[in-house]
Amino acid sequence: MNIDQLLSELQYIDPYKRYGRVKQVVGIMIESQGPPCSVGDICYIFPNGRDRKKRIIGEAVGFRGESVLIMPYTSVQDIAPGWIVESTGESLKIKVGPQLVGKVLNSLGEPLDGSPLPKKMREFSTQQQPPNPLLRPPISEPLEVGIKSIDSLLTIGKGQRVGIFAGSGVGKSTLLGMIARNTKADLNVIALIGERGREVREFIERDLGKEGLERSIVVAATGDQPALMRIKGAFTATSIAEYFRDRGMDVLLMMDSVTRIAMAQREIGLAVGEPPATKGYTPSVFSLLPQLLERTGTNEKGSITAFYTVLVDGDDFNEPIADAVRGILDGHIVLDRALANKGHYPAINVLKSISRLMNAIVDESHQRSAESLREIMDTYVRSEDLINIGAYKRGTSPEIDRAIDYYPKIVEFLKQKVNEKYSMEESVGRLHQLMAGE
């Protein structure tokens, strides 16, 4: 850029920095008189002396009359009327790079253990647009996840987005840990949103393990943190996955759980003054979900295969968040409490689960074997009560007779221990052998 261009640019530069002042704090919301800003801008709140060491970071989330509504990333306890508010004019940015692999971060992209971030990392905004629909390559290649029942009956493609639906305590975290350790993806990005503080370390050490952490980046926002931090944890994890996708990698993003993100957005919406809609969830919740979930998938450089867990209240799989997420994603895996109670792990209900892209990425023989297994399971489940009470007489129906013979073998095939790993070839081969009667 020559001197003339620099001089012409100077006329557009605003030499003044404008500040606002805190008027009041209501609940989890700070109301400020100024400064000029936009929704999503990062704001710094300082004591009257403008001590930058004691600054509190917040985000503009709305306006009320001429006042700016700011939600802090920390607690509102220390904030007092008259404190100075400064707007950066930018949304949240994080530092990203290959140096993050193996680290556990908070929602702002900072290491949870307090260690400094490595140098020479790139700044990356957490607010990114989904890939252009016309630039998304079709999903045509399967991604191995190392779980027999998924690779053989619910085959996942590179760039597919899948929901894992389950009630509490049915094995969602354990299943995510198995996938993270066994997958053939280049990198795992794991977001733990709204978890208990105890569960974060337990997941990293017990479910993920040293082997899994060495090829993963974990973003954790525990349930005790403010609602904004929980939402930012999801956006930070997605941005990290997007950065590595743009470098040509096949990334596996796992987020636990979307329900807690929706609850955090509900808190913010109600605090801003939105009216509650379905089951108390505000309209902004249902606009946030597609904005977040559509960012994953394929682009012209790489892919993000995503697993999102959905915590269903009272095992009601038709509650508002589950229903909304199911309509956005490319398939769903249902974990059944009845199977878990029988000691069947992973407790995947194959008949209630579906991969919408499976038929496009597997060969015809694989497809036929999977359909045959589903038919046999469906026949047995529909006749199970008659069989258990002894009301069914063998020879009455060849289909039911076949189902009675096959069902115990199918159940054994679908079970898998936590430390077991199967390649996709081995899983599909066992499926073919099972359906051939071997």
- pLDDT of res. 196: 85
Residue 7 lies in a domain: no
Q: Which residue has the higher pLDDT, 55 or 331?
A: 331
Residue 9 lies in a domain: no
The answer on pLDDT for 250 being more than 90 is yes
Same structural domain, 408 and 397: yes
- pLDDT of res. 390: 85
- pLDDT of res. 52: 61
193-217 confidence digits (pLDDT tens): 998 888 888 888 888 888 889 999 9
Same structural domain, 296 and 370: no
- For all residues of the chain together, what is the average pLDDT? 90
Residue 197 lies in a domain: yes
Q: How many CB atoms lie within 10 A of CB 29?
A: 20
- pLDDT of res. 186: 94
Q: Confidence class of residue 179 from pLDDT cuts 50, 70 and 90?
A: very high
Give the domain CATH number at 280: 3.40.50.12240
Same structural domain, 74 and 180: no
Q: Which residue has the higher pLDDT, 156 or 390?
A: 156
- pLDDT of res. 168: 82
71-108 confidence digits (pLDDT tens): 988 877 778 888 999 998 888 999 999 999 999 999 99
**What does the block give as tokens for 141?**
């290649």
Residue 190 lies in a domain: yes
Q: What is d(CA 28, CA 362) in angstroms, rounded to the nearest whole number?
A: 50
Q: Confidence class of residue 400 from pLDDT cuts 50, 70 and 90?
A: very high
Residue 3 lies in a domain: no
Q: Which residue has the higher pLDDT, 289 or 171?
A: 289
- pLDDT of res. 14: 66
Give SS3 for 182.
Answer: helix
- pLDDT of res. 438: 64
Residues whose CB is less than 8 angstroms from the CB of residue 201 and which lie 6 or more positions away in sequence, other chains included: none
Same structural domain, 328 and 233: yes
Same structural domain, 315 and 369: no
Same structural domain, 202 and 64: no
Residue 150 lies in a domain: yes
Q: Which residue has the higher pLDDT, 326 or 211?
A: 326
Same structural domain, 104 and 84: no
Q: For the chain, how many structural domains are there in total? A: 3
Q: Phi/psi of residue 97, each to 5°?
A: 165, 170
- pLDDT of res. 344: 92
The answer on pLDDT for 1 being more than 60 is no
Q: What is d(CA 277, CA 257) in angstroms, rounded to the nearest whole number?
A: 21
Same structural domain, 158 and 281: yes
Same structural domain, 193 and 109: yes
- pLDDT of res. 105: 95
**What is the domain extent for residue 153?**
94-360
Residue 426 lies in a domain: yes
**Mean pLDDT of all residues in 37-58:** 81
Q: Phi/psi of residue 261, each to 5°?
A: -65, -45
Give the domain CATH number at 31: 2.40.10.170
The answer on pLDDT for 50 being more than 70 is no
Full-model pTM: 0.90
Residue 399 lies in a domain: yes
The answer on pLDDT for 17 being more than 80 is no
- Answer with the one of 360, 388, 408 that is the final residue of a domain: 360
- Answer with the one of 58, 91, 124 that is the final residue of a domain: 91
The answer on pLDDT for 174 being more than 80 is yes
**Mean pLDDT of all residues in 371-399:** 90
Q: Phi/psi of residue 30, each to 5°?
A: -105, 130
- pLDDT of res. 3: 80
Q: What is d(CA 308, CA 163) in angstroms, rounded to the nearest whole number?
A: 5
Q: What is d(CA 183, CA 178) in angstroms, rounded to the nearest whole number?
A: 8
- Answer with the one of 91, 108, 123 that is the final residue of a domain: 91
- pLDDT of res. 278: 80
